[in-house]
Amino acid sequence: MLRRDIIEAAGKKQNILFPIFTNGTYMNERYFDLFDKCRNLVPIMSIEGSKEITDARRGKGIYDKLISNMDEFKKRGLIFGASVTVTTENYKEVCSDEFLSELSARGCKAVIFVEYVPVTEESEDLAPDDAQREYLQEQLTRLRAERPEMVYISFPGDEKSSGGCVAAGRGFFHINSHGGAEPCPFSPYSDINVRSSSLREAMHSPLFTALRSGDILLDDHEGGCVLYEKRDLVEALIAQHSAR
């Protein structure tokens, strides 16, 4: 949201739907007007459950700001969604009818559940375990049947139905703040930069090609992020191609 020029450029491509993931803090009147004008831009705002949990993770006052944003979107008749980081601390609350009923009542049309993926061993206690991931999938099945007014997406949980991990260009890839093309946000390794190459070239980088042609993305894993769990193999691929 800090790069309004990029958001405006996306708004001009009216035949493409762009979900804009944001913590909601930079939303202002100019952005409300832009989303009103360019309805192919769909804000997806991060919320972690109740006010207490959201403010504890995102900062004091963030929950109230998000609710204010939602009310403004609803008043303007605009579609928006919510992104929820699922942890060991909130996995039951964010699947509850109470939480989802409030989102629905405020006009939310999509909820994206993103399982917490640690980037250091110190925070691994926040990552859902097998039983908690199973609970999430059971709740998603129930919600899709009982609450069809919103779309529910689970990441990486829904990858089972898409034939494995969709990173590294199988379904998407990530561009970091420096322009480096990475398999996904949870696998911050890059061997090509979009500042000096096209998106098509990035899709066919040695790292991406090796990941798609091998078995890593399709491998069995513990249920979380396969690239995080197999980061030693990804690092080995980077080293292998860098040495050439």
Closest to 77 (Cα-Cα) out of 20, 126, 39, 40: 39
Tell me the fold of 4-155: pyruvate-formate lyase- activating enzyme (3.80.30)
The CB density around residue 117, as the number of other CB atoms within 10 Å, is 22
CA distance 138 to 142: 6
Q: Which of 66-80, 113-127, 137-151, 222-236 has the lowest mean pLDDT?
A: 222-236
Q: Which of 20-29, 36-45, 106-115, 157-166 has the lowest mean pLDDT?
A: 157-166
For 172-223, the pLDDT digits (tens) are 899 998 999 999 887 889 999 999 999 999 999 999 999 988 777 776 555 5
- Contact criterion met (CB below 8 Å) for 78 and 48: no
Q: What residues does 21 pair with on adjacent strands?
A: 44
- The pTM of the full predicted model, rounded to 2 decimals, is 0.82
3-state SS, residue 94 = helix
Tell me the CB-side half-sphere exposure of residue 51, using CA atoms within 13 A. Answer: 6
Closest to 212 (Cα-Cα) out of 180, 175, 184, 185: 184
Q: What is the pLDDT of residue 160?
A: 65
- Contact criterion met (CB below 8 Å) for 41 and 10: yes
Domains of the chain, by residue range, sit at: 4-155, 174-242
